[in-house]
Chain A
Amino acid sequence: MKNSDQSYQKRRLATSYVTTIISITMVLFMLGLLGMLVLHAKNLSDYVKENIGFSIIIKEGVKEADILELQKKLDKEEYVKTTEYITRERAAREFSEELGEDFVGFLGYNPLLPSIELRLHASYANPDSIRLIEERLIAYPGVKEVDYHKPLVDEINQNVERISLVILGISLILLIIAIALINNTIRLSVYSKRFLIRSMQLVGGTQKFIQKPFLAKAIVNGFFSSIIAIGLLLLVLYFATNEMPELLDFQDLELFGILFALVIFLGIMISWISTYFAIRKYIRMKTDSLYS
């Protein structure tokens, strides 16, 4: 009877420790993500800016040779990173694929115009330069119109800020949850060791002495959590760089080292501080009142 009760308690305690580690891991993961985002806010917005580019729509009836000539000229401009000529056939094909329906056959003619997709170097991808570049592009002969998504650039900058705030908010909520879980774990742990703790107190063990093993365990758990969190962050990094290789700048490796060290430090501190306050509270409580 007593034995099964004890093993039940042990299992509950083990589950509780695992939950605690997971919750700290989640906090650290979110904060790490935030750190990575901040570290890469510039890389990210550069990447997006360079990928925004313009669509230069060519007038009806311009000859292909002239379009290729124009493309060559554009390639020589210092603000141009890449250009790509989209024939009207290709435009129609891509649009059909998007629609899932052969609209050319349906209409009986191809209404689309040829265009040149142009990507900018990041340093030119600010609103002022973009406006100037737009004016210069439109001045080329044969150009019908220039499309670019000005709001997108601003939106990205705003988004980075907004995402940061959201992540920070989520981290805060997760932190509160983690602290509550740690508190509960320590309560269970003190309760399951209540006889031992009482005996230690009776033979003259100070609070500091008695809480030492709990704090040692907290440090180990915090460390564990940070290692798991770092693993997850590396995973995210791996997939992100697969998507956008420009994201990882190897000069940032040192910054990553600092970020990960910070994650470990934070993990240990979160676990240690919450455990410290919880253990102080529960060791002081009369053991009878621990469970009422």
Chain B
Amino acid sequence: MPGDLIIILDKVSVYQNENLILANVSLTISRSEFAYLIGRTGTGKSSLMKTLYAELPVRTGTAGVAGFDLRKIRRHEIPFLRRKLGIVFQDFQLLMDRTINENLQFVMHATGWKDSILMTKRLQEVLAKVGLQTKGNKMPHQLSGGEQQRVAIARALVNDPEIILADEPTGNLDPESSEGIISLLMDISKTGRAVLMATHNYAMFEKYPARTLKCEYGKVIPMD
């Protein structure tokens, strides 16, 4: 059903500056779908993600994400696209000048949460999901790499977004924690959310099979 498609790319080329990274990308992802994005390092997984959250401009083809036309999107609309997405950045992008709680609250404030009791409740809920319920008052630099990564995941989940773009969300985690995160993301996708997860963690996607897209030779190709 096309109505259920929430990411639609048709013949999109992805550039970093003037370098063509991926050509003619065509793919769709629907609500409730979980998809892996794999490929060797430097093949353009993060670049594709950046295209989806309008960090890289779409110059050719058509691209629609969560109802936004990425060819036509205006600068001032980009924040509103991003609020519909939950993005786990490969480099975390935590706000280093404030605590974990305040990191999550920043996103919640930006998206119009007002009731501080509800905010605190939601905040503790997502931190518990990633196993960080005791770390809310710590500063990011006081956490380990894996803990920071889980904060980034919690932040992406806090608004219960329609789409989750997770760029190597388990890159810094031990196998056990990685499994926890993947099954968490899969569960979330079953509640009607689209999840695209870039990963090098081949062991995991054998254990948790799902639709898989591969970046290779400047193309995105589906795998069976």
Residues of A within 8 A of B (CB): 195-196, 198-207, 209, 284
Contact = CB atoms under 8 A, between A and B. Distances in A.
Contacts of B80: 204
B110 interface: yes
A200 B111 CA distance: 12
A200 B83 CA distance: 11
Interface of B: 53, 55, 75-76, 78-83, 85, 87, 89, 93-97, 106-107, 109-111, 155
A41 B94 CA distance: 60
A204 to B, nearest CB: 4
A196 B89 contact: no
B110 A202 contact: no
Contact of A200 (B75, B78, B87, B106): B106
A260 B95 CA distance: 41
Contacts of A201: 78-79
A202 B87 contact: yes
A206 B110 contact: yes
Nearest to B86: A203
Q: What secondary structure prevails in chain A residues at the interface with B?
A: helix
13 contacts: A196-B96, A200-B106, A201-B78, A202-B82, A202-B87, A202-B89, A203-B106, A203-B155, A204-B82, A204-B110, A204-B111, A205-B106, A206-B110
B156 to A, nearest CB: 9
A206 B55 CA distance: 14
A31 B157 CA distance: 54
A209 B105 CA distance: 13
A204 B76 contact: no
Nearest to A198: B93
Given A196-B95, A203-B110, 13 more contacts: A199-B93, A199-B94, A199-B95, A200-B95, A200-B106, A202-B53, A202-B82, A202-B87, A203-B93, A204-B81, A204-B82, A204-B110, A206-B79
A216 B78 CA distance: 24
A289 B110 CA distance: 27
A110 B26 CA distance: 113
